[in-house]
Structure 1
């Protein structure tokens, strides 16, 4: 068994915020955020099962959140059609951005945490300047023909997945948009850590590894169940393994190169495991299902790590 696989369940944490819609590590992996159907965001130390703070302000379910690069702010989006900015230390809502015509599915900061990108059911991505006093978006990307389900941001690119069966990549340096047709609604997109490839989850029980520049299909990963719900896929911190949730209570892990499934993490539930977040440097995985999130580490990790 590889030391790079988080196969040991360390914590099961009842969030007490209704259904957990997303779990997300912060930038250095010390803390994490959970988004709840009870309109709250919670900040945790997942390694010690410690609730640190709750954030309120959304008028309906919170679907996604991210901590900023210096951990001082949180951005979030939800079913109340708003994007919000919170101060981590005080818990206060600093800004509320309105403009989306429907549920906000996903949010991401840019690398400097000065701009929030939000994707929504209204088929648009909107960019909000957190330093400006204006509440209008600084840019609207409306190329998608259906709900924007997932966003990733690098220093010069925005990657998005949509229910219109496409992945779109916006190169901000040259002002170009490139689209790849996947064939089924896209539920999750992410860059590999080296920035060379993208991992795409779609509603046909398949993840695809695609060369970012050429669009070539490099590998497919199958064996999980994903035909109904938005389920996250991700890579581990070393780009050696692919991970995804599944609609039957499992997390499936494959070797990136040979596409062999090497591990299934059984959550002892038949509910979908829909949200995943991998630690930026360590062998540690967070997963969410129902009203709980789970902390997984290498079985070789010292106890208390």
Structure 2
């Protein structure tokens, strides 16, 4: 006699506001989990970068060295280094333990919007309003980039690198995917200025948000539109979008003080998470757990699934 299989549990969403951190660094321009989700980085309009413990919400270290507001940051896979970028046109490589500047990289002609390490943290990739992506060797003492990608016709607003693939979004309305191993470039035309791009966890799709208040899911290899997600407001700010850790939901910041969360397959709105009365500037989803970080004005909020609340989970 065959017993019926138990129904799989519906994926949980981060709908319970768990903690609020007053970062005390002006407006928080970006909030980012580190690789394992135990720490978070906040980028401030007061020129500072801060490292926090997720569980204890304790401030671990502040990093000062930029000449203007910090716009993005990334942590290396082993948590020993941080890279950050700023409106001061520079990219800085930091030693996490000492808080000292290891390298200050100059070469961009305008503010640097986005920055990320490659998987081994041997290369930093930075995207700028000057329309270029620059690749910097973290081990070399040379101050010139090892490669400059200048195909964008307007500012580069967002980039993500996974293994040998680089995804960029530009104000020219195009999502570009570089196969760095094969030396190939694939372009998808969206038509509205792109604010954020990312890969799906399974590596088969790309997600992009743009200033026509639409988030789009595309098949990576064919460029076919798989889904459009609307309802939020994104008209004048560079706001983040992302996928949940298991690729079940699409999430986006909004100018109306909410985070919108859609079912990836159905396209229906699953959750409208109230964060506050201002623009939700940035968000970051935990790499393995149902936990979402959001940045609004000078505060970062952590939201979790109801089953996680009250425990010690980050």
Relative to the length of structure 1, the TM-score reads: 0.98
Deviation at 1:49, TM superposition (A): 1.8
Could you list the per-position Cα deviations for residues 40-99 of structure 1 after superposition, in whole angstroms to 9, with x for gaps in the alignment? 100001332211110011011000000001000000000110000000011001000000
CA distance in 1, matches of 2:116, 2:12: 27
**Matched ranges for 1:9-158 at <5 A:** 9-158=17-166
Contact kept? 1:3, 1:298, Cα under 8 Å: no
Shift of 1:129: 0.2
Q: How many residues align?
A: 304
1:303 aligns with 2:310: yes
1:165-190 superposed Cα distances (whole Å, 9 cap, x missing partner): 00001001110111110010000000
CA distance in 1, matches of 2:137, 2:116: 12
Does residue 1:175 correspond to 2:183, yes or no? yes
> For residues 130 and 246 of structure 2, what CA distance do their matches in structure 1 show?
35
Mapped partners of 2:140, 2:77: distance in 1: 19
Equivalent in 226, 233, 251 of residue 243 of structure 1: 251
List alignment gaps of at least 5 residues for structure 2. Answer: 1-8
Contact 2:89 2:106 in 1 (8 A): yes
CA contact (8 A) 2:276 2:296 kept: no
Matches of 2:214 and 2:126, distance apart in 1: 25
Shift of 1:4: 2.0
Q: Distance in 2 between matches of 1:139 and 1:49?
A: 38
Once residues 63 and 309 of structure 2 are traced to their aligned partners in structure 1, the CA distance between those partners, rounded to angstroms, is 33
Per-residue deviation, 1:302: 4.3
Mapped to 1, the partners of 2:155 and 2:12 lie a distance apart of: 35
Q: Per-residue displacement from partner, 1:134-171 (whole Å, max 9, x unpaired)?
A: 00000000000101000000101110000000000100
Match of 2:286 among 275, 279, 282: 279
1:272, CA displacement in angstroms? 1.0
Residues in 2 aligned to 1:165 and 1:302: alpha-carbon distance in whole angstroms: 40
Q: Supply the distance in 1 between the matched residues of 2:212 and 2:309 (Cα, whole angstroms).
A: 38
Cα distance in 2 between the residues matched to 1:83 and 1:124: 14
User: Is contact 1:27-1:67 (8 Å) kept?
Assistant: yes
Aligned to 1:174, what secondary structure does the other structure show?
A: coil
Is contact 2:16–2:309 with CA below 8 Å preserved after alignment?
Answer: no
Deviation track 1:262-305 (CA, whole Å, cap 9, x = no partner) reads 10110131x11121100000000000010011101101114132
Aligned to 1:199: 207
Q: What's the secondary structure of 1:300's corresponding residue?
A: helix
Verify the 8 A CA contact 2:18 2:309 in the aligned structure 1: no
Question: Segments of 4+ in structure 1 off by > 4 A?
Answer: none
TM-score by length of 2: 0.95
| 1:265 aligned partner | 273
Equivalent pair of 2:259/2:280 in contact (CA under 8 Å): yes
**Which of residues 283, 288, 294 in structure 1 aligns to 2:295?**
288
Q: Is the 8 A contact 1:47 1:295 kept in 2?
A: no
Q: Flag the structure with larger Rg.
A: 2
Q: Does the CA-based 8 Å contact 1:3-1:299 persist in structure 2? A: no
